[in-house]
Structure 1
Amino acid sequence: MSRRSAPAAIVIVLSLIGLIIVGRDTTPAAPAFFSSSGGTWMPSVGASGALTGSWFCPGVPATGEGGVGGSVVVSNRDEGQLIGRYLILTDDGAVADREFSVAAWSQTRIDVDATIPEPTAFASVVVEIEGGGGFVEQIAEHPAGNSVDACSDETSTTWYLADGFTVDGSINTLVLTNPFDEPVVARLRFATEERESQPGQFQGFTVLPRTVRTIPIAELGARDEPVIAVAVEATAGRLVVARAQHYLGGGRSGYDVSLAAPELRDQWWFADGERGGGISETYSIYNPTSDDVEVTVFFGGLPLDAGVEDLDPIVVGPRRVVVFDPYAERPVPGDAGGDAFTPVDEQENGEDTAQDEGDDAFVEFATQVGEIPLGRHATVFSTLAQPSIVVERVLTRPAGDGVATSVVLGAPPRPDGFVARTWHMGIGPTEPTEDALVVYNIDQSEATVTIEAVGPAGPSVVPSLENIPLAPGSILTIDLVDPDVLGQELIVTSTSRVFVERSLPRGNDLPGRSGSFLLPSEG
């Protein structure tokens, strides 16, 4: 088992602590069945006893092709039986509406593509749990690699994605789900390296009740683009938005389905980052507001003598996306190439506004960070402005004879500054996996981490994973190789505040990993 950790630089840790402080064979659906959750955090595990708990899954491919499909896992984290209903939605509407139950301290898996009557591009699942005593995740299956993500415990009028990729024919698809009985009217904006666009056909477009609508980004004219940020804003109703990304070149390979961000934030945290041979690590920072935003970057989990220099704030112009590469030398803002932060004009009548040919100022890069040592590190993006940005990490690591790419949306603290000490994982590795968990201690205090496996009698401590030392402000990677943890729901608890990511095998005998955050406990 690997229990690797590195002491963090005291100055960086103290800074971070300061940030925290400051018509088919279908059963008719009952009317008004699914509630509209108004959460303001990331998907999280709450206390039992709520009247209902609704979960909205991003969507899985269901084309019927070999190796393509997906499932939803419902975990019952209580000693009583869990009772609920699920609804499967496609572009044709609701194609399944069924009741289910889950025994105490157990799980049930909904095989989406086996349940729907006919193949479809994407199918989304909405789960409602009586009493709210459970949580829901999904796994999207694809020959290019499987992808795990939490389902959302909220719907929203706004959704944002900071990264997208269409280089060398890579396929970037928006998946929009309307789980309610009324149509959603929405508008779409996207930003590339050269322009922001509001396509006329997507200003006031409709997502019909209880349906899934897909939008291939390349069809909007964004072909062969290395970065595409998207904002979806509902002018009537609420919905759920996700991105399906199939990497086919441009130095990337793999498949990912993940939720968009329902709100802008002033902080985004990442527990996993790595510098090493053949590894590419970039961060896409999207500012969809009408004002400049200054973004500060901190690196944690580093040795005290790492010598990483303080960065000048990254200025992200209005309605712009910045790609930040920690290791590449970039021009200083204001150097040759024109005004780095010339505003993008407001778009009208569905027209695009592009920079002059040769002017690459739309995506502005920060100056070099300094020498980040080899190995893992954590990264935090922060702004003192009102919540105004979305940040996603794209991490490409060597995998066999090729590479494997994973994109992860950062984790925000709760609006009151709360960061969890307990995190839940319903979908984990089914085979021994080294470095399966990455834990970042944000506190300047010694801590320990304990992992429990959930069985028929409830959670029980895994003896080989009990009281693992976690140094102040450090990163710990944990191997999940003990037979007691394989294929089980797991609970990760720390004596300090932590962020926890999982790094799972991509399946299909493919080398490489797919990353995602666990679900924090609401405390």
Structure 2
Amino acid sequence: MRSWRWPALLLLAVLLAGATVAERRQTAGEAPAGQQPFDQAVPVASPAGAVGSTWYCAGGTATGSQEGLAEHVVHVANTSDVAVTARLTAYPSEGRPATRTIDVAPRSRVAVSLAELVTAPFAAALVEVRGGGVAVEHELTGPSGRAFGACASAPSNTWYFPAGTTRAGTRMVLALFNPFAGDAVVDITFDTDDGTRTPQAYQALVVPGGRLLAVDVSEVVTLRAEVAAEVRARSGRLVVDQIQSGDGSEGAPKGLAVTLGASAPAETWLFPDGVGASGYAETIALYNPGETTAEVDVQVLLDDPDLNGIPEPFEVSVGPRRSMTIDILGDGRVPVGVGHAIVVRSRNGQPVAAERAVVGSSEAAQPGWSFTVGAPVLASRWIVPVASAGGTSGAAVVVLNPSATETARFTMEAMGDGRATVPEGFADVELAPGERRIFDLGSDALGFRALMVVIDGEGTVVGESRFGFSRGSDLSYLLAVPVGDTVAPAVGTVGELTPDEIILGG
């Protein structure tokens, strides 16, 4: 278990600025077109004692073969102290849906392969839960690797994917899942490193009700190093995942990744767990869906700034409906081998979407490929639904306190297999303003067969998990799931700061 404190004033960008915890809305339709309530901009779990929740896992294949691009498994994690019942419906890209009822014991997790219910090139899952304290994630496995990804807790009429590629040796698929009875009509636009594209085949595209439609971007937007995508519904709402695979040929990364898009832009995005070892590449991709240029700071907050210093922020302008990718390690201002967090902040109030890509080369301790949309919210309670899985080479949870003034206190509870415990060093943890801490879960997952983690305390924090796979040579970074009645937006801005104006936390 390690800890660092970060520059406090730089973190004013994520102060709560008078924000109050909002009660979770039940329908995405309450927001204006193109926007989501802040507590639906990311997956959010219902608190224990709630009537229930609904989860949407859009992307994956269900061929029942080891050769499937991304065979789809859904994990239902019950962190409450009572049993819950879930109804899982698999929606294939071809054929009829199939349903299974799942009983999930207290403090336990159940995994279901969609290929056990349907056989199709692609399949999505709808999980309807009776009871609270439940979070759902999904797992994809294929010839190129293995990945965990977030499932949505609400549909939306917009989805943004700032980071993508169709370079040689890679494949990019958008999985469009319409869980409703009526058809959805969508437009898909792309911004690439050589300009914006609006393929005619993807305008007024109909996604039938109760159906998953897989769009292979690589077949239309070919051989582009950088591809950002926007999915916007003219009518209806849906859930969209991005599946990316690389076969390692022609210099392409080797790995598999699944990413739930950002359903709304935001002024602030947090990435708690930056790369801290050699052999990795790390980029931040920004997409501006608005009609005004966004002036954006990307601040890298190095561990132990007294020793490692404070790098100048990346200051960029992102034009309307355009994207930009920043190579975090490219110009030398961020030293290789130093762990860090990243704060993305709009200086002029024009919100953007932000996504981090991590590539571990063959020389890295953990080769692989991972894409993560940042956290635009804070919370005092977070769930890590999958903190261990068979074939992992190690796992960790990172918790940060982004406040510049308030101390956060929390306990991390490990649970699974029907039991719960607080490991040594995980109880009554105190994080000073600007401090983060890494909790190593060990290669034995603290002795749990199906480990989950709950972060619970006073003050708002951000949680993120990471683990590598010993089989398939891949890695995953994934934000924890905030619990709805503790969520608040990460808002606030600061003016220009020079290094000698920065006061270090602590």
Residue 78 (structure 2) aligns with: 76
> What is the TM-score normalised by the length of structure 1?
0.81
From the CA coordinates, give the structure whose radius of gyration is larger.
1
- Work out the CA distance in 2 between the residues paired with 1:259 and 1:196: 22
| Cα distance, 1:484–1:491 mapped onto 2, change above 3 Å | farther
- Work out the CA distance in 1 between the residues paired with 2:301 and 2:130: 41
Residue 228 (structure 2) aligns with: 229
The one-letter code matched in structure 1 to 2:473 is P
Q: How far off is 1:154 after superposition? A: 0.3
- Work out the CA distance in 1 between the residues paired with 2:167 and 2:122: 22
Candidates 372, 377, 392, aligned match of 1:408 = 372
CA contact (8 A) 1:435 1:477 kept: no
Candidates 469, 482, 487, aligned match of 1:520 = 482
| Structure 2 residue 136 is matched with structure 1 residue 173 | no
Residue 158 (structure 2) aligns with: 158
Residue 429 (structure 1) aligns with: 388
- Work out the CA distance in 1 between the residues paired with 2:360 and 2:382: 25
| Cα distance, 1:484–1:288 mapped onto 2, change above 3 Å | same
Candidates 443, 460, 474, aligned match of 2:403 = 443
| Structure 2 residue 318 is matched with structure 1 residue 278 | no
Note the 1:375-386 alignment, pairs <5 A. Answer: 375-386=338-349
Deviations 1:90-113 (A, max 9, x none): 122542023332233333222211
Residue 266 (structure 2) aligns with: 265
| Cα distance, 1:386–1:238 mapped onto 2, change above 3 Å | farther
Q: How far off is 1:71 after superposition? A: 1.3
- Work out the CA distance in 2 between the residues paired with 1:510 and 1:169: 17
- Work out the CA distance in 1 between the residues paired with 2:138 and 2:432: 33
Deviations 1:503-522 (A, max 9, x none): 12235x23342111111122
| Cα distance, 1:60–1:292 mapped onto 2, change above 3 Å | same
Residue 327 (structure 1) aligns with: 329
- Work out the CA distance in 2 between the residues paired with 1:499 and 1:310: 24
Unaligned runs of 5+ residues in structure 1 are 23-34, 330-367, 414-418
Residue 4 (structure 1) aligns with: 2
Q: How far off is 1:54 after superposition? A: 1.2
The one-letter code matched in structure 2 to 1:474 is E
- Work out the CA distance in 2 between the residues paired with 1:51 and 1:18: 32
Q: What's the % identity of the aligned pairs?
A: 27
| Structure 2 residue 13 is matched with structure 1 residue 16 | yes
Q: Secondary structure at the match of 1:477?
A: strand
| Structure 2 residue 298 is matched with structure 1 residue 297 | yes
Residue 122 (structure 2) aligns with: 122
| Cα distance, 1:241–1:455 mapped onto 2, change above 3 Å | closer
CA contact (8 A) 1:165 1:172 kept: yes
| Cα distance, 1:498–1:251 mapped onto 2, change above 3 Å | farther
Deviations 1:65-84 (A, max 9, x none): 31642211112233333123
Residue 240 (structure 1) aligns with: 239
Residue 340 (structure 1) aligns with: none
Residue 144 (structure 1) aligns with: 144
Residue 97 (structure 1) aligns with: 99
CA contact (8 A) 2:76 2:136 kept: yes
Q: How many residues align?
A: 460
Q: How far off is 1:143 after superposition? A: 2.7
- Work out the CA distance in 2 between the residues paired with 1:511 and 1:457: 30
- Work out the CA distance in 1 between the residues paired with 2:13 and 2:155: 30
The one-letter code matched in structure 2 to 1:195 is G
| Cα distance, 1:277–1:84 mapped onto 2, change above 3 Å | closer
| Cα distance, 1:374–1:455 mapped onto 2, change above 3 Å | closer
| Cα distance, 1:63–1:470 mapped onto 2, change above 3 Å | same
Residue 135 (structure 2) aligns with: 135
| Cα distance, 1:449–1:51 mapped onto 2, change above 3 Å | closer
CA contact (8 A) 1:123 1:212 kept: yes
- Work out the CA distance in 1 between the residues paired with 2:305 and 2:339: 14
- Work out the CA distance in 2 between the residues paired with 1:464 and 1:446: 18
Candidates 464, 469, 473, aligned match of 1:501 = 464
| Structure 2 residue 217 is matched with structure 1 residue 255 | no
- Work out the CA distance in 2 between the residues paired with 1:224 and 1:426: 36
- Work out the CA distance in 2 between the residues paired with 1:398 and 1:468: 35
> What is the TM-score normalised by the length of structure 2?
0.83
| Cα distance, 1:240–1:512 mapped onto 2, change above 3 Å | closer
The one-letter code matched in structure 1 to 2:426 is L
Residue 479 (structure 1) aligns with: 440
Deviations 1:356-396 (A, max 9, x none): xxxxxxxxxxxx7x354732100011114456311111112
The one-letter code matched in structure 1 to 2:94 is D
